[in-house]
Amino acid sequence: MSQTEENVEPVPTTFGSLGLNEHLLLSIDRLGYKSPTEIQVKCIPPALEGRDIIGIATTGSGKTAAFALPILQKLWDQIPTSQGPAIKGGGNGGLFACVLAPTRELAFQISESFERLGKDIGVRCAVIVGGAEDTVTQAISLAKKPHVIVATPGRLRDHLQSTKGFNLKTLKFLVLDEADRLLDLSLGPTIEQILKFIPKERTTYLFSATMSTQVSKLQRGTLSNPMKIEVSSKYQTVPTLLQYFAFAPLMHKEVSFIHLVNTLSSNTIIVFTRTVHDAQRLVIMLRHLGFSAIPLHGQLSQAQRLGALEQFKSGKRSILVATDVASRGLDIPCVDVVINYDMPTQSKEYIHRVGRTARAGKAGKAISMITQYDIEFLQRIEKVMVKKLDKWPGLPEKGLNEEMMLLKERVEEAGRFASSQIKEKEKEVGEKGRKRKFGGQKGREKDDDADRDDDVVQADISHLAHRRKKKRA
Judge contact between 117 and 71, C-beta under 8 A. no
The pLDDT of 3-20, averaged and rounded, is 67
Confidence of residue 93 (pLDDT cuts 50, 70, 90): low
Judge whether 190 lies within some domain: yes
Residue type, 375: I
Judge whether 443 lies within some domain: no
Confidence of residue 223 (pLDDT cuts 50, 70, 90): very high
- Report pLDDT for 441: 43
Same domain, 196 and 250: no
Same domain, 190 and 322: no
Q: With CA atoms as reference, report the closest residue to 151 among 176, 169, 171.
A: 176
Judge whether 473 lies within some domain: no
Q: Which regions of 209-316 does DSSP assign to beta strands (E)?
A: 227-230, 241-247, 269-272, 293-296
State yes or no: pLDDT of 417 exceeds 60.
yes
Same domain, 395 and 341: yes
Phi, psi of 56 (to 5 degrees): -115, 115
State yes or no: pLDDT of 233 exceeds 80.
no
Helix (H) or strand (E) holding 205: strand 203-208
The pLDDT of 70-85, averaged and rounded, is 74
- Report pLDDT for 84: 46
pLDDT in tens, 302-327: 889 889 999 999 999 999 999 987 77
Q: How far is CA 222 from CA 150, 165, 201, in A?
A: 18, 25, 11
Same domain, 225 and 249: no
- Report pLDDT for 464: 38
Same domain, 220 and 271: no
Domain harbouring 417, CATH code: 3.40.50.300
Same domain, 256 and 224: no
pLDDT in tens, 350-372: 988 998 898 777 899 999 999 99
Lowest mean pLDDT among 39-53, 168-182, 433-447: 433-447
Helix (H) or strand (E) holding 100: strand 97-100
Same domain, 304 and 381: yes
- Domain extent, residue 80, equals 4-230
Confidence of residue 431 (pLDDT cuts 50, 70, 90): low
The pLDDT of 263-277, averaged and rounded, is 95
pTM beyond cutoff 0.85: no
Confidence of residue 333 (pLDDT cuts 50, 70, 90): confident
Same domain, 131 and 203: yes
Same domain, 167 and 60: yes
State yes or no: pLDDT of 185 exceeds 80.
no
Judge whether 461 lies within some domain: no
* Percentage of the chain lying above the pLDDT 70 cut: 82
